[in-house]
Amino acid sequence: MDSPKAKTDETKTWKSAHENDRKNKYGHRDLVGYGANPITPHWPRSAKVALNFVVNYEEGAEMCLLHGDNQSENLLADIPGAVRYDGERNMNMESMYDYGSRCGFWRLHRIFTSRKVPVTVFACGMALERNIQAVGAMKEAEWEVASHGYRWWDYKDVDEETEREHIARSIEIQQNLLGKRPFGFYQGKPNENTRRLLVEEGGFLYDSDSYADDLPYWTMEYEGGRPHLIIPYTLTENDMRFTTPGGWSESGDFLRHLKDTLTALVAEGRAGQPKMMTVGLHCRLARPARAYALEQFVDFAKSFGREVWICTREQIANHWYENHLPRGVGNPIQPTSFTMADDLGSRFSFLGNLTTPRDGPQMSPQRSPVAPAPDGDII
């Protein structure tokens, strides 16, 4: 029997018709993705889940009259229904953000470093410059510090020139403070230009401004078809839900949700479809009871042993470039104006001058800015 076909009358003109009708890929959207049979990620040591903890470091980069803004911040703090004050400071909001850099960051730092758990930081450039002690702690702990842009802004209506400058400024700040540029990027509140500007900049391994999948995926819709890696983030396994209507009201809700999510994903992995899981955290929300729930979840995740690979997003990106780079493409990472460390190309030198399919003969390797990273902790 022939496969069923949609019955449509191409001669009929519908008043409600649109040029994107019946398309599954349009406007940088893809409604099909991996489909019924997702790619097998082949995580290190046959792990069933790649688990990544993200600490958002935004305190000191939020909307504030003291930062030259004309409004005060209103998002992601323990003030239900907060609104922005036009032309006025919100003293309560400012002090809650201050708590994040003064106390919350160090609480999270103790939890992860005492358990030797790798972390990715989404760091706003302006915020990093205001707390050099925290920057030193990130560096000493060997955490991945990805760029969260220069400001903790909604970039929806920010013009292209300003956003491009902010991206460049955030890179320069990390280069100066940490001795290396960021290889990951998460704007958080992007616009239609954001991803294109990142690809044009040329030095990012990935961005995380997507919530579209349980696995990393490639897009080739920018800069002449050059592949760009997207590692999806989450607003669900995220402590921000303590501040949203219908979210969590107590730490036990957070803990149960994280445990149930990881248990379900491990089961999917055992059934032959391994995935990744991200846990999003915010310093200003790291109050004691919530942090205690996080501690319990970290210990729960470690109890799975090798089935859960606890890693950074940079490690996930390196794994994806090494194992799932589309065949027959040129080097997706372009040199930038920043000097790369001499040893960056050792593990990924095949990317430096890749002009043939990966199963074909390699050309002479050139230095690649893809950052080598340890294999992560499978506890």
CATH code, domain with 316: 3.20.20.370
Two tokens, residue 140: 């000493």
**Of the given ranges (8-17, 207-216, 304-313, 327-336), which has the lowest mean pLDDT?**
327-336
**Of the given ranges (15-24, 40-49, 118-127, 370-379), which has the lowest mean pLDDT?**
370-379
Amino acid type, 355: T
Half-sphere exposure of 207 (CA within 13 A, CB side): 24
pLDDT at residue number 8: 56
CA–CA gap between residue 260 and residue 249 (Å, rounded): 17
Two tokens, residue 23: 């398309």
pLDDT at residue number 327: 75
User: Has residue 371 been placed in a domain?
Assistant: no
User: Has residue 239 been placed in a domain?
Assistant: yes
pLDDT at residue number 338: 35
User: Has residue 178 been placed in a domain?
Assistant: yes
Arithmetic mean of pLDDT, 117-141: 98
Give the DSSP H or E segment for 317.
helix 313-324
DSSP 28: T
User: Has residue 324 been placed in a domain?
Assistant: yes
The number of folded domains in the chain is: 1
User: Has residue 79 been placed in a domain?
Assistant: yes
pLDDT > 90 in the chain, percent: 76
User: Has residue 24 been placed in a domain?
Assistant: no
* Angle formed at CA 369 by CA 41 and CA 152, multiple of 5 degrees: 80
pLDDT at residue number 71: 95
pTM of this structure: 0.86
Backbone angles phi, psi at 320, to 5 degrees: -70, -40
User: Has residue 306 been placed in a domain?
Assistant: yes
User: Has residue 360 been placed in a domain?
Assistant: no
Domain that holds residue 287: 51-329
Asked whether residue 364 carries a pLDDT value surpassing 90, the answer given is: no
Arithmetic mean of pLDDT, 284-306: 98
Asked whether residue 375 carries a pLDDT value surpassing 80, the answer given is: no
Asked whether residue 352 carries a pLDDT value surpassing 50, the answer given is: no
Minimal CA–CA distance to 121: which of 57, 198, 206, 52? 57
Average pLDDT over the chain, rounded to whole?
Answer: 87
pLDDT at residue number 246: 87
State the Rg of the chain over Cα.
22
